[in-house]
A and B are shown apart, each in its own frame.
Chain A
Amino acid sequence: MINKINALTRSLNVFHLAGSACNNCDIEILDALTPKYDLERFGITLVGSIRHADVLLVSGVFNRKAAIRARELLDQVPGPYLVLGIGGCPCTGLMFRDSYNWDHPPSDYMNIDAYVPGCPPKPEAIISAVVKVVEGLRSGALVPRCLQDSKPLSVEEAAETV
């Protein structure tokens, strides 16, 4: 298992899972791949299938329809994997919490390891988050939540561990 976690600290395959997002975080994630920020030079690549993913970048609030699809997709991720909630939407749902079309925050059914607040977070913030997570894995301070048998990490608890 230690070897598998080590594998998460280099050459990360990143899969972007957006559910009912305004697309701004999605565009900033893609921006991180383009020449100005160029994540690929760190060996981080975007993959097209969740079956190849090491890290899931989750954006959006996931309305009722999208949540069903997300749960189906999450069953297909080979462990271990990390989940980063990008933007304010997976953190708290922002103002969409009041919507008639929203049931549960993504943290209820996803093992979110870290939250990157912002609306949208700048590419620098996203990169900084990935770096912090990798350092946490290397030091052992962070264990992927998919391996833990514990309740989901809420954004308030996450803020205390920063």
Chain B
Amino acid sequence: MNKFDTITAIQTQLGEAVLEVKRKSAQRIYIHISADKLTDASRLMLEQPGARLQIATGVDTSKGLEVMYHWAMDTDGIVITLRVLVGHESPELDSIAPIYPAAEWIEREIWELLGITFKGHPDLRHLLLADDWPEGNYPMRRNHEVTT
């Protein structure tokens, strides 16, 4: 199976949930999928030989809260990044920690720094910030102000 098979599988199995495929370079492919298909897409990636979730990056953008799941395909030497977008007013995503333990800390960090709730996460609590960090204070949001 080569890298194109994985992209084809994503497009075939997710159909209209694939909103955009951007080939930045031979080694970097970014695929925007609709957020409700995140778990299906993640399961699909886990089935691909040589696929490994490197990390997920959360970004506060004008269009909403974006989370990118960076999957290294070690047998092909490429990275396929799955991008999902949720609105500021309802920042929720399905947790993939139940199917992939590596995601546990990743989702806890995105929750506490960006304010996205991961539904179904087994242990959603502070990872890096103090337990008494003010609720609703998300340092990685654009409008965050440093308080001393």
Residues in A lying within 8 Å of B, measured CB to CB: 64-65, 98, 100-101, 103
Which residues of A lie under 8 Å from residue B148 when comparing CB positions?
103
A100 B144 Cβ-Cβ under 8 A: yes
**How far does the alpha carbon of A103 sit from the alpha carbon of B133 in the complex, in Å?**
13
**How far does the alpha carbon of A103 sit from the alpha carbon of B130 in the complex, in Å?**
13
A100 B146 Cβ-Cβ under 8 A: yes
A100 B130 Cβ-Cβ under 8 A: no
Count B-side interface residues using an 8 Å CB cutoff: 6
Which residues of B lie under 8 Å from residue A103 when comparing CB positions?
148
Which residues of A lie under 8 Å from residue B139 when comparing CB positions?
100-101
Which residues of A lie under 8 Å from residue B19 when comparing CB positions?
none
**How far does the alpha carbon of A100 sit from the alpha carbon of B139 in the complex, in Å?**
7
Q: Which residue of chain B is the closest to A99 with respect to CB atoms?
A: B146
**How far does the alpha carbon of A100 sit from the alpha carbon of B147 in the complex, in Å?**
7
- Closest chain-A Cβ to B112's Cβ sits at a distance in Å of 11
Residues in B lying within 8 Å of A, measured CB to CB: 129-130, 139, 144, 146, 148
**How far does the alpha carbon of A155 sit from the alpha carbon of B61 in the complex, in Å?**
40
Which residues of B lie under 8 Å from residue A98 when comparing CB positions?
146
**How far does the alpha carbon of A101 sit from the alpha carbon of B129 in the complex, in Å?**
8
Which residues of A lie under 8 Å from residue B144 when comparing CB positions?
100
Q: Which residue of chain B is the closest to A68 with respect to CB atoms?
A: B130
Which residues of A lie under 8 Å from residue B146 when comparing CB positions?
98, 100
**How far does the alpha carbon of A35 sit from the alpha carbon of B129 in the complex, in Å?**
39
- Closest chain-B Cβ to A55's Cβ sits at a distance in Å of 29
Other than the given A100-B146, A101-B129, A103-B148, 6 more pairs (CB < 8 A) read A64-B130, A65-B130, A98-B146, A100-B139, A100-B144, A101-B139
Instruction: List 9 contacting pairs A-B, 8 Å CB cutoff, sorted by A.
Output: A64-B130, A65-B130, A98-B146, A100-B139, A100-B144, A100-B146, A101-B129, A101-B139, A103-B148
- Closest chain-B Cβ to A126's Cβ sits at a distance in Å of 30
Q: Which residue of chain B is the closest to A102 with respect to CB atoms?
A: B148
Most chain B CB neighbours (cut-off 10 Å) among A64, A100, A103: A100
Q: Which residue of chain A is the closest to B146 with respect to CB atoms?
A: A100
- Closest chain-A Cβ to B64's Cβ sits at a distance in Å of 22
Which residues of B lie under 8 Å from residue A101 when comparing CB positions?
129, 139
Closest 6 CB pairs of A and B: A100-B139, A100-B146, A65-B130, A64-B130, A103-B148, A100-B144
**How far does the alpha carbon of A100 sit from the alpha carbon of B130 in the complex, in Å?**
12
**How far does the alpha carbon of A148 sit from the alpha carbon of B139 in the complex, in Å?**
39
**How far does the alpha carbon of A65 sit from the alpha carbon of B148 in the complex, in Å?**
14
**How far does the alpha carbon of A85 sit from the alpha carbon of B129 in the complex, in Å?**
25
**How far does the alpha carbon of A64 sit from the alpha carbon of B130 in the complex, in Å?**
8
